[in-house]
Structure 1
Amino acid sequence: MTTSSKGLFKASVVAVSVAAASSAYSAGFALNDHSATASGAALAGAAASTSDISFSFWNPALFANADTTTFMASGAYVMPSMDVTVNSATDATTNSLGTEATDDSVDNSLVPSLYFAKPISDKTVAGISLNVPFGLSGDYGQDWAGRLHATETGIQDIALSFALAHRVSEKLSVGASVQLHQAEVILESAVGAPNHPTLQEGIGRIEADATGIGFSVGVMFEPVKGTRLGAGYRSEVDFDFEGDVKYTNINAALAANNSLEDASVTDSITFPSVLTLSVEHDLSDKLTLGLSAIRTGWGSMDGINIDFDSNQDNSVLTFGFEDQWMYSAGVNYVYSDKLTLRTGIAMDNSPVTDEYRSARTPDGDRKWISVGATYDFNDMTSASFAFTHVMIEDVTVNRDGSLDEDSSRGTLNADYESSANVVSAAISMAF
C-alpha cells in the first residue's frame, strides 16, 4: 500500500530543491546530512562545534556561532546502490510468484538544508532553518516477485525551525527552537492473488499527509578553554495522517472478496526524538578532536495501522523498531589560514529487528568513512565540501507468513546488498 501528500512548503523556496533521500544512506529513515561541514568529520562534535551555524540542527545553542548576519545553504547528493536477490515469494494462496527482482529500486536524490542567523543583541541570536529530518524513497516497480509486500514507499518530512540562542557567559551558550513539520507518505503494493482463477491482481496506492509541531533545546559549555561539551535534543513529532487509497486493475471478484474500494484513510504516527551528545577538544592550535553519540528514539514508531473509511480491514505493518545510537569520531586540521581539512568515521546502528524487517524497511547497520574541507575565500564567505562512503550490512528479509499482517501478502525471502556514496557542498555568507 502507499501514502504521500501535497507538502505544506512546496510553494516555498524549497519547491524546486527538496527530494526524499534513499533509505540506503541513514539507519531507519533518518537523514543525517544537514551540514557539509559536519559531514566531513562524520558528525563528530556535531553538538559542540564552533565551526558554523549549520551545526544548529543538532544543537540550537550553536546559532550563537554567528557574530553577524549569516546565511548558509548546504546540500547532499545521495548516490545509493541496492542489489536485491529474491530467493522465494508466494501469494496468500501459496502459489509461487517466481524470483524476479529489481536492480533499480533506489534513485539518486538531493537533501537540502538552509540556515539564516541574525544577532539581535550582543549575546542573543535569532535563527531560522529549513531541513529534511526524515526521508525514504524506494520503488521496486510493479512486476517484481515481492510486489504484494511493496512496490513503492516514500516518506518525506520537511521542518521549518525558528530558534533563539543566547550566550549566558563566555563559557556557556543555550538555545531552543520550535519547528513546523510537514510530512508526506506514499505506500503502494500489489493486492490480490496473481495465480487465482478469479481474484487475480491489482494495485493499491495510499497517499496521505500531515502537519506536526516539534521543538529542540540545547546547551554548549566550555569548562576550560579548548574543550567544548554540547548536548542537543530534538523532540518527537506526532502526525495524524489523512489521505486516500485508490485501486487500479481490480476486478469485481477481488473487490467484493476484500471490500476494496477507493476511500479515505487515516493513521497516527510519531516520528522519533534525537539526542546528540558531543565533545570537541583542541589538541593543538591546528588539530581538533571531535566525538559524538546520537540516540534516535525509534521505539516511538510501532508501525503503520491504516484505517480505511470503508469496510476494508486495516492495513498493518509492524516496524518493531528499537532505540539506537550512532557513534562517531573525527578530526579537524587547520592546514592554512584559508583551508581546514577534516575526516571522520561513524557506526550507525539500525533500529530494524530481524523479525520485522520488510521490503519497506530492508535496513542494516552502517559504517561511515568521511573526508571534507572548508575554504575561506575571505572573512565573509566560505565553502565546505565532504564525501562520505556508507557501507551497509548485508541483510535478509524473511517474511515467512508467521505474522498475521502478512495473511494477504504471502511470503517473501530476499537478500539485500546495499551501499551509498554522498557528496556534500555548502556555502556560507556573512553580511
Structure 2
Amino acid sequence: MTGVTIRALALAGAVAAMGTATGAQAGAFGLREQSAQGLGLSYAGAASGAAGVSSMFWNPATVTMRPGFTSEQSLTFVNLSADIRPTAGTAPFLAPFGDSGEIGQGAVLPSGATSYQLTDRLYVGLQTGAPYGLVTKPRPDWAGSIYGRSSRIFSLSFNPVVGYKVNDWLSIGVGANIEYFRLTLRQAVPVAGLSPALYPPAFLKGDSWSAGWTAGATITPWEGTVLGVGYRSSVHHDIEGSFAVPNPAIAFAVGAVKANLNTPEKLSVGLTQAINPVTRINLGFEWDNWSRVGDIAIVSKLLGRPVTELPLKFKDSYFYSVGLEYDWSPNLTVRGGFGYDDGPIDNSNRSVRLPDSDRYLVSVGGSYRWSDKLTLNASYAHVFIQKNRIVAGPGQNYNVGNIPFTAIADGSADLVSVGFRYAWDSPASVAPAPLVRKY
C-alpha cells in the first residue's frame, strides 16, 4: 500500500469521525433582529414599512416610503438563557457528568439601513445586518459533550436595493444580497478506555462569501392602508474549511473539507392599517423554507468525494405577529406586539447545539422625536421557548458511536434594542425631478 493511499485512508477515517461527532449541529439559526423599531412590534408589519428604514430587510420596495436622505442604525443585545439536563436513557457512563450548565451566550447584533431619493420616483438604499447567527457553549465535560461542546455561527449581509414608485399606490423594489457565512463546531470524541472527562476535542470550521437577491412590492389602495410583500432568495454557499479529529496513528488528523449550504428562502407579508389619525395596527407573516437546507454532505478535498453528512432535516417555519402603535404626542410613539414562531425544529431533529422549539415573543417599545432630523428608538422583548426533549443515539438522526443521550432542555431569551433614525436633509428640500414627456 503506497504512502499516498495510507494518508488518504487516514484522512477518510478522520472526516468520518468528525461527521458523526458533529451530528448535533447548529439547528435553526435565523435572526430577525434587524430593527429596534420593528422589535417593539414583534416585527408585525415589517414588510409594509412598520420597521422603519430597516424594513428593506423584509421588503426592498419600502425604500420608497421615505423622501430625501435618511439613515437608521440599531444595536440589539440578545441574552439567551438555556440549560440541558440529562434524563433516564442516557448512557450510564455519561450520566454522572451532569447537565450542561448555562449554554446561552450574550451577543450584540448591529444593523443599519440608509435610503436616498434620486428623483420623485426612483430611490436607492443599503441595508446591512446579520441574517444568521448562533453561540452556545455548555460546560466542557458535561454528559452530552460528545454531541456538542460549543457552536458558533456568524454572518453578515449587505443588501443594496433600488425602488421605483410606479404610481401613487404601487411601489416595487429589487436588490442584491451579498452574504458572508462562517461556522465553528467543537465537541468531544469518545475513545475506548478513557473517562469521558478525558475525551479529546475535535473541531470543524469553514466560511464562504456568496450572493442572492431580493424583491418586493408595496400597495397603498387608499390612505391609511399599506400592504407589503417581500422575498429573499436562497443563498448557495460553497463553504471551505478544515477539521481536526483524534487519530490513533498520528495523534491528530487535520484536513481540508468543503460543503454546500443553501440558506432558506424567506417570504414576508405585512399589513399596516390606520384605525384613526394616531393609532395603527400591524400584522405580519413570514415563511422560511428551512426544509431546503436538507442534509449537508462533508467532502474531503483530498479524496474528492463525500465521506459523511450533517443530517439537519429541518422543516419549514412560519411566523405570525400582531402589533399596535399609538402616537402619544407629536413627539412620542409607543408600541407593543406579540408573535408566534412555529419553528423548524422538533423532537426528530433537535440538537444540543441549539435546543430550539416553538417560541412566543412579547414586546414593547417607543420612538421619541428629538428634533426634526433625529428620532430615537428603543424596544424590549421576551422570548418564551417551549420546554423540549432531546433524543440522540441509536436509530436517531444524531448518533455518535451508538451512545444514547436523552435530555430535557429549557430556555428563554431577553432582547434589548436601541437605535436612531436621522434625516440628513429636510424632505421639503428635496425637489422632485421634472417629468419630461414627448408626445
Q: Is this a same-fold pair by TM over 0.5?
A: yes
User: CA 1:361/1:105 → structure 2, altered by over 3 Å: closer, same or farther?
Assistant: closer
Residue equivalent to 1:267: 259
Cα distance in structure 2, aligned partners of 1:288 and 1:106: 36
Greater Cα offset, 50-59 or 184-193: 50-59
Distance 2:29 2:334 in 1: 29
2:103 aligned partner: 105
User: What SS is found at the alignment partner of 1:55?
Assistant: helix
> How far apart, in 1, do the equivalents of 2:314 and 2:247 lie?
36
Mind listing any 5+ residue stretches in structure 1 that lack a counterpart? 3-22
Q: What is the 5 A alignment of 1:79-94?
A: 79-87=79-87
Q: 1:44 maps to what in 2?
A: 44
Q: Which residue of 2 aligns with 1:155?
A: 153
SS in 1 for 2:200: strand
1:252 matches 2:248 = yes
Residue 344 (structure 2) pairs with residue 351 (structure 1): yes
From 361, 366, 374, the counterpart of 1:368: 361
2:204, 2:322 → 1: CA distance? 41
CA contact (8 A) 2:146 2:400 kept: no
- Check whether the contact 1:89–1:96 (CA below 8 A) recurs between aligned residues: no
Q: Would you say the 8 A contact 1:89–1:146 is kept in 2?
A: no
Structure 2 alignment gaps of length 5 or more: 1-17, 20-25, 425-439
Quote how far apart the aligned CAs of 1:241 are.
0.6
Distance in 2 (alpha carbons) for counterparts of 1:399 and 1:118: 51
The question of 1:35 aligning with 2:31 is answered no
CA RMSD of aligned residues (A): 2.3
Asked if the contact 1:243/1:265 (under 8 Å) is kept, the reply is yes
More displaced, 287-296 or 397-406? 397-406
Partners of 2:260 and 2:248 lie apart in 1 by 31
- Selected match of 2:375 from 349, 367, 382: 382
Shift of 1:42: 0.5
Cα distance in structure 1, aligned partners of 2:145 and 2:57: 37
| Change in CA separation of 1:97 and 1:103 when aligned onto 2, cut-off 3 Å | closer
Q: Using the TM superposition, give the Cα deviation of residue 50 of structure 1 relative to its aligned residue in structure 2, in angstroms.
A: 5.6
1:213 is aligned to: 211
Task: State the alpha-carbon separation in 2 of the partners of residues 377 and 41 from structure 1.
Answer: 21
Q: Report the residue type matching 1:33 in the other structure.
A: E
State the 1:400 CA deviation.
3.4
Give the deviation of 1:37 after TM superposition. 0.7
Equivalent runs, 1:25-424 vs 2, <5 Å: 28-49=28-49, 52-87=52-87, 95-96=93-94, 98-193=96-191, 195-196=193-194, 201-247=199-245, 250=246, 252=248, 261-309=253-301, 314-403=307-396, 406-408=399-401, 410-424=403-417
TM-score by length of 1: 0.87
Secondary structure of the 1:379 match is: coil
SS across alignment from 2:418: strand
Q: Hey, what's the Cα distance between the residues in 2 that align with 1:181 and 1:357? A: 26
- Please identify runs of 4+ aligned residues in structure 1 that moved more than 6 A: none
Conserved 8 A contact 1:319-1:352: no
* Partner SS state of residue 147, structure 2: coil
Question: Which one-letter code corresponds to 1:305 in the other structure?
Answer: A
CA shift for structure 1 position 51: 6.2
Specify the code of the residue in structure 2 equivalent to 1:293: F
1:141 to partner: Cα distance: 3.6
Paired position in structure 2 for 1:12: none
Tell whether the 8 Å contact from 1:88 to 1:98 is kept in structure 2 after alignment: no
Q: Percent identity?
A: 26
Q: Structure 2: how far apart are the matches of 1:146 and 1:405?
A: 12
The Cα of 1:182 is off from its aligned counterpart by 0.6
Please give the alpha-carbon distance, in whole angstroms, between the structure 1 residues aligned to 2:213 and 2:247: 47
CA contact (8 A) 2:155 2:180 kept: yes
Tell me the residue number matched to 2:419.
426
Match of 2:434 in 1: none
- Once the two structures are superposed, residues 202-222 of structure 1 have per-residue CA deviations (whole angstroms, 9 ceiling, x without a partner) of 111111001111111010001
Deviations 1:337-376 (A, max 9, x none): 0000100100011101311212123111000100010111
Which residue identity is paired with 2:409?
Y
Larger Rg: 2
CA distance in 2, matches of 1:338, 1:405: 54
Q: Deviations over 1:14-36 (max 9, x none)?
A: xxxxxxxxx8xxx9211111011
- Going by fraction, where is helix more abundant, 1 or 2? 2
User: What amino acid does structure 2 have at the position aligned with 1:399?
Assistant: A
**Paired residue total:** 399
How far did 1:405 drift?
5.6
Which residue identity lines up with residue 39 of structure 1 in the other structure? L
**TM-score in terms of structure 2 length:** 0.86
